[in-house]
Structure 1
Amino acid sequence: MAKNYYDITLALAGICQSARLVQQLAHGGQCDREGMMVSLKSILETNPASTLDVFGGQESNLKIGLETLMGVLNANRQGPGAELTRYTLSLMVLERKLNAQKSAMNTLGERIDQLDRQLVHYDLESETLLSSLASIYVDVVSPLGPRIQVTGSPTILQSPQVQARVRAVLLAGIRSAVLWHQVGGGRLQLMFFRNRLFQQAKNILAHC
């Protein structure tokens, strides 16, 4: 069956958006607020009508992710590009481990469903919700290993608020990696169909 490279590219951009936000947080303590909200909201989209619906139904919501994906597909082995590639591939590895453990996947779904009660009282970007999202990542995803080594400013990374944001955004990256797998994504595409993915990302960006 022919692969839907539009959906695969959107899901990949979701992973890459999380990677870029983690990088921004780790080096500067802040990240693109709109991009982060798109990523965090994607975690709550557990029954979407389409791949794009996971990201709020607008291609422009994935602008950061699409630009990052194009950079990752053309990445050098050193510098910021290599860091983004490492985060992206690490999220894919963790998703594979999560997918192999049905109990962990079930627990993840239950914990995400429980967030609805908190969302009645708190905004998604409140410290309370960010802490809850971070704890889901720490309790359910992180133990599956290997742990993602986040590099940046040691002083910034010591901040509990930054740590919570990084883990919440990594959870969003896992959400996109699950989606990527569901729509037919696979590691071989990154080796053999890089140009096709690059061109698809470029085409989508042209609409944004």
Structure 2
Amino acid sequence: MNKKFYFMALPLAGIVQSVYLIQLLANTGVFHEIYFYSSMYSISVLKPKSILSIYGNKEKNIKLGLEILLCILKLNYKYNDLFILLKYIFKLICLEKKLSFDKISKKIVQKKIKSVLYFKNKNKNLLIKKYAKIYSEIVSPLDSKMIIQGKEIYLKNAAIQEKINVLILAGLRSCALWRQIDGNQLKIIFFKKYIIKEIEILLSDLRKF
């Protein structure tokens, strides 16, 4: 394992997993429970002991993100779907950057997240509602609204809207991690083949279990 590329792969997979699940919900209404809650968990880790601890100390929690990321890097993904995913990713990175510069809003978000942790072991639907509210009331107003493409029947569903908002918040958490390790587009371009190799090793190990 090459730690440098391993640490680059994790937050990228976290971002990709969030936007893929958003796309899945918006177009099919499919709720991938395991990976949704894995992504949602990352929001609550404000003081991680390690990069992996943000994802519950288990690479399998972002396995879906690693698989989709590998397809993207290898250009083995439908063009239209890829364009939408990349658009969401770019928007998330820009929004997270704005939030990082807005110290007041950032502190409010952190405070709200800490207050939500009180309900961590209680009703999951309540957690979803509270995290969704943090995004819609504090983060969303910082920039033009993130436009989600999908089928109207799903986009108008209140429960799906809340889950999408939670996933946006989870995506922002991974974007913050990506920024903290000095991640940028040039590094993805220059180190693409090494990141691909690291992801392939990770996925190979995960498939053994």
Task: Name the TM-score, length of structure 1 as normaliser.
Answer: 0.91
1:113 is the counterpart of 2:114:
yes
- After superposition, the C-alpha distances for 1:130-177 in whole angstroms (9 at most, x for unaligned) are 111111111222122233211111111100000000001110000111
Q: Distance in 2 between matches of 1:160 and 1:130?
A: 12
Q: Determine if contact 1:111/1:136 at 8 Å carries over to the other structure.
A: yes
Tell me the equivalent position of 2:86: 85
Divergent runs of 4+, >6 A: none
Given the superposition, is the C-alpha separation of residues 5 and 146 from structure 1 closer, same or farther in structure 2, using an over 3 Å criterion? farther
Tell me the equivalent position of 1:190: 188
- Cα RMSD between the aligned structures? 1.9
Unaligned 5+ runs, structure 1: none
- Look up the SS of the partner of 2:189 in the other structure: helix
Task: Name the TM-score, length of structure 2 as normaliser.
Answer: 0.90
Deviation (angstroms), 1:77 = 8.0
1:204 is the counterpart of 2:205:
no
The amino acid across from 1:138 in the alignment is S
Tell me the equivalent position of 2:71: 71
The amino acid across from 1:161 in the alignment is A
Q: Out of 59-68 and 138-147, give the one that drifted further.
A: 138-147
The amino acid across from 2:46 in the alignment is T
Deviation (angstroms), 1:66 = 0.5
Tell me the equivalent position of 1:169: 167
- Look up the SS of the partner of 2:147 in the other structure: coil
Q: Distance in 1 between matches of 2:169 and 2:140?
A: 10
The amino acid across from 1:193 in the alignment is F
Tell me the equivalent position of 2:32: 32
Tell me the equivalent position of 2:140: 142
Tell me the equivalent position of 2:52: 52
- Look up the SS of the partner of 1:4 in the other structure: helix
* Same amino acid, percent of matched pairs: 31
Deviation (angstroms), 1:205 = 1.3
Deviation (angstroms), 1:186 = 1.7
